[in-house]
C-alpha cells in the first residue's frame, strides 16, 4: 500500500514538472512573432519586417519625445469639449445586424477580402511631426498665456518636418500604422496577393484616395473601399474634406484610435513641413499665436464622424472592459444616429460638468452613401491583447466582406 502511494506521488510530481516546463516554453512566445510582409506603399512595393514586440519599437529613440508628449498632455488644452453637444448625447442604440464571422468561414472570408476589397492604411505622419519636439514644446512653454494675448516668440516651434513617404519599418516612429499592420496580419490579409495600400497624410491631402481623370482628382470616385486611420490628431483642411468626401461616396472609414481631427495644420510640399493653424487650444496666422478653440471641427466632426474627443486628464473608468484597457484618449458619442456595437460603460469622476454622462463606445454611423466605424478608444495601447485582436479582426471582416458583395 505504501509502495502504491509512493508511485502515485512520484507520478504527480512528474506531471507538475512537465506542466511547468511547458508553460515556461510558451511564455517567451506569447507575443507577435517575426513576420515579413509585402504591401503596396502607394504604388511602391516594400518588404516589411515586423518586430516581436510592437510596444517597444519606436519610443526608445532618444532624439524623439513622442511617447513622453503622448502620455503627458497639456491639461488646459485637452480638458474642454463643446457644451453644444450635451443635448446630442445618447446612452443606447440598436446595433446593426452585420455578417457573422465563424471559425468555419473565417479563412474563406479572409481570402475573399484579399482578392477583392481595396484597403488603405493611412499613417498619421502629420501627428508624428507635431510631436517631434515641436508643437508640444510650444504648448508647454506658453501654457500660462492669458486669452487674447498674442505670442510672437518661439513661432518656429509651430512648424515641423514631415516624412513624406510611408515609414513602416522597425524603426518607425508612427505607432498607429504599425499597430494596424499587426492587427491586419492576423486576418492573413497582408501577403503578396493582398490589395492593401499604405498611404500617408500627405497622400490623402493630395487626393490619392480618389481615382483620377488624367491629372485631375475626381473626388466623387473612390480609389479604395475601406480606409483605416490611426491617431490622426493633426490633419489639413484638404485632408479633412477628402476623408469626408470618401465616406459620402460610399467608402467605409475605420478609426482605430480616439483623439482624431483635433487640430488643423498646413502642408508645404516644397519644404516637406507642416505648420500649425488652429485647434488644441491655439490659433496661428504665421505672425502670432493666441489661445483659441480646443477641437478645430467639433460640430462638423459630430455630424459625419459621430463623436468628439473627450479629455486626457479626466479620471475615467470602464465597467465593461474586456481587453484590460486603461483610459488614455477616447471619443464620446455626440450623434443620435450612432449605432453602438460595444458600450464600455464609462464613468467620469470629478469632471467640471457634473451632469455629463458620456457614452464611450465602439459604434458605426451611416453618412450619406458610406459609413464610419470608430473603436472609440486608443486601441494602440491594447494592440497585443489577443481578445481585442480577435474583435478587431471580425470587425474588419464584417465591413470589408460587405464591400466584397459589390464585386459578386
Pairing of strands 273-279, 159-161: antiparallel
Cβ neighbour number for residue 82 with a 10 Å cutoff: 15
Residue 198 has what pLDDT? 81
Q: Any residues with CB less than 8 A from the CB of 396 and at least 6 apart, and which?
A: 183, 184, 187, 226, 228, 254
Residues in the chain: 408
- Contact 304/247 with Cβ under 8 angstroms? yes
Spell out where 203-327 has E strands: 210-213, 216-222, 226-229, 234-235, 252-255, 263-268, 273-279, 282-284, 289-291, 307-309, 315-318
**Prediction pTM value:** 0.75
pLDDT, residue 166, reads: 62
How far is residue 61's CA from residue 65's CA, in Å, rounded to a whole number? 8
Query: Alpha helix locations (H) across 116-267?
Result: 125-131, 135-141, 175-185, 201-205, 237-248
The residues pairing with 136 across neighbouring beta strands, listed in sequence order, are: none
Q: Which of 316, 311, 312 is nearest to 326 (CA)?
A: 316
pLDDT at 254: 94
Please tell me the predicted confidence (pLDDT) of residue 393: 78
**CB distance 263 to 127 below 8 Å:** no
Confidence at residue 406, expressed as pLDDT on a 0 to 100 scale: 47
* C-alpha span between 30 and 35 (Å, rounded): 15
Alpha carbon separation from 60 to 54, 64, 120 (Å, rounded): 12, 8, 28
Question: How do beta strands 361-367 and 234-235 pair?
Answer: unpaired
Distances (CA, A) of 307 to 95, 108, 150, 161, 192: 16, 34, 31, 30, 36
Beta strands in 42-175 (DSSP E): 44-50, 119-123, 159-161
The partner residues of 120 in beta bridges, in order of sequence, read 197, 227
> Consecutive 10-residue runs of the chain (408 residues): their mean pLDDT?
58 55 40 32 38 30 38 43 40 38 43 67 91 95 95 97 66 53 57 70 96 93 93 97 98 95 97 97 97 97 97 89 94 96 89 76 97 95 86 80 50
For residue 5, the model assigns a pLDDT of 56
Number of helices and strands in the chain (H, E): 10, 21
Q: Which residue has the cell 502642408?
A: 267
Q: What is the rounded distance in angstroms from the CA atom of residue 281 to the CA atom of residue 227?
A: 28
Amino acid at each position: 500500500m505504501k509502495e502504491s502511494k509512493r508511485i502515485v506521488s512520484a507520478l504527480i510530481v512528474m506531471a507538475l514538472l512537465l506542466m511547468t516546463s511547458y508553460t515556461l516554453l510558451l511564455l517567451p512566445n506569447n507575443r507577435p512573432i517575426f513576420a515579413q510582409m509585402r504591401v503596396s506603399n502607394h504604388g511602391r512595393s516594400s518588404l516589411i519586417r515586423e518586430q516581436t514586440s510592437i510596444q517597444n519599437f519606436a519610443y526608445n529613440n532618444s532624439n524623439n519625445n513622442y511617447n513622453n508628449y503622448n502620455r503627458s498632455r497639456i491639461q488646459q488644452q485637452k480638458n474642454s469639449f463643446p457644451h453644444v453637444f450635451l443635448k446630442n448625447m445618447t446612452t443606447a442604440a440598436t446595433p446593426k445586424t452585420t455578417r457573422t464571422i465563424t471559425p468555419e468561414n473565417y479563412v474563406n472570408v479572409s481570402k475573399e477580402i484579399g482578392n477583392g476589397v481595396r484597403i488603405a492604411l493611412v499613417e498619421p505622419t502629420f501627428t508624428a511631426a507635431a510631436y517631434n519636439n515641436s508643437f508640444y514644446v510650444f504648448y508647454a512653454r506658453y501654457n500660462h498665456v492669458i486669452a487674447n494675448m498674442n505670442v510672437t516668440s518661439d513661432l518656429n516651434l509651430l512648424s515641423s518636418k514631415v516624412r513624406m513617404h510611408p515609414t513602416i519599418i522597425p524603426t518607425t516612429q508612427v505607432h498607429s500604422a504599425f499597430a494596424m499592420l499587426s492587427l491586419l496580419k492576423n486576418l492573413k490579409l497582408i501577403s503578396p496577393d493582398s490589395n492593401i495600400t499604405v498611404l500617408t497624410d500627405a497622400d490623402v491631402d493630395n487626393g490619392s484616395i480618389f481615382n483620377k481623370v488624367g491629372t485631375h482628382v475626381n473626388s466623387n470616385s473612390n480609389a479604395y473601399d475601406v480606409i483605416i486611420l490611426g491617431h490622426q490628431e493633426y490633419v489639413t483642411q484638404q485632408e479633412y474634406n477628402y476623408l469626408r468626401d470618401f465616406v459620402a461616396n460610399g467608402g467605409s472609414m475605420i478609426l482605430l484610435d480616439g483623439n482624431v481631427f483635433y487640430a488643423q495644420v498646413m502642408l508645404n510640399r516644397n519644404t516637406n513641413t507642416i505648420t500649425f493653424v488652429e485647434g488644441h487650444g491655439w490659433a496661428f496666422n504665421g505672425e502670432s499665436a493666441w489661445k483659441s478653440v480646443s477641437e478645430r471641427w467639433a460640430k462638423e466632426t459630430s455630424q459625419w464622424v459621430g463623436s468628439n474627443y473627450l479629455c486626457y486628464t479626466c479620471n475615467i473608468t470602464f465597467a465593461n472592459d474586456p481587453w484590460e484597457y486603461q483610459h488614455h484618449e477616447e471619443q464620446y458619442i455626440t450623434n443620435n444616429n450612432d449605432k453602438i456595437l460595444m458600450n464600455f460603460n464609462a464613468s467620469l469622476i470629478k469632471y467640471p460638468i457634473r451632469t455629463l454622462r458620456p457614452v464611450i463606445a465602439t459604434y458605426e454611423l451611416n453618412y450619406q452613401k458610406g459609413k464610419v466605424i470608430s473603436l472609440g478608444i486608443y486601441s494602440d495601447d491594447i494592440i497585443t491583447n489577443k481578445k481585442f485582436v480577435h474583435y478587431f479582426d471580425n470587425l474588419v471582416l464584417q465591413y470589408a466582406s460587405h464591400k466584397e458583395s459589390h464585386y459578386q
